[in-house]
Amino acid sequence: MIEQITLESIKEQIRNVPDFPKPGIQFKDITTILKEPELFNYLVDTISEMYQGLNITKVVCIESRGFILGGAIASKIGAGFAPIRKPGKLPAAKFTRTYTLEYGTESVEIHKDALENGETVLLHDDLLATGGTALAGIALLNYFRPKKIYVNFLCELDFLKGREKLKSYEITSLIHL
């Protein structure tokens, strides 16, 4: 008998890796889901259905795990794809946003010609933790004066309350951890 796929069953298959990449972090490893074709497809289909029919013209994803589902979702909903990357990876003219982490700072970049003004955008990443990365991503999108920004995560670490930083945006997360 084929077991029915549910978000609950997918949640159980996310691998928790303690103390990676540094002590105290409980790393949520989604490679255990992605390697299963049925689960991969289920996630692409589920997220695509949520954003179908909203006239989204670009799916913008955050390096690097955001790219995995994001590219497939873009293709499925008939949108283009644009990457947000860590510093020094994008080859052409770009906008940069620097944000504060618990210790130190991090930056993200987007090509200056990644979007046109006035597009409807879906920002996607694999996981919402403190929200700093997503907020920096939104700041980059705002250079393009988008008509509307939707934000989607595969997973959300509820206890870190990242959602509070993103209050003024329409956020969805499939799996709450």
Catalytic residues: 65, 102
Q: Which one of residues 61, 72, 108, 129 is an interface residue with ligand AMP (CB under 6 A)? A: 129
- Nearest to ligand AMP of 54, 130 (CB atom): 130
156 is a contact residue toward ligand AMP (CB under 6 A): no
* Identity at 111, one-letter amino acid code: H
- Nearest to ligand AMP of 55, 64 (CB atom): 64
The stretch among 22-30, 69-77, 115-123, 137-145 that binds ligand AMP (CB under 6 A) is: 22-30
**H helices present in the chain, as ranges:** 7-13, 31-34, 37-51, 66-77, 132-142, 162-165
Question: CA-to-CA distance for 73 and 24, rounded, in angstroms?
Answer: 33
Cβ-in-10-Å burial (0-12, 13-18, 19+) of 16 comes to exposed
The stretch among 45-53, 71-79, 83-91, 132-140 that binds ligand AMP (CB under 6 A) is: 132-140
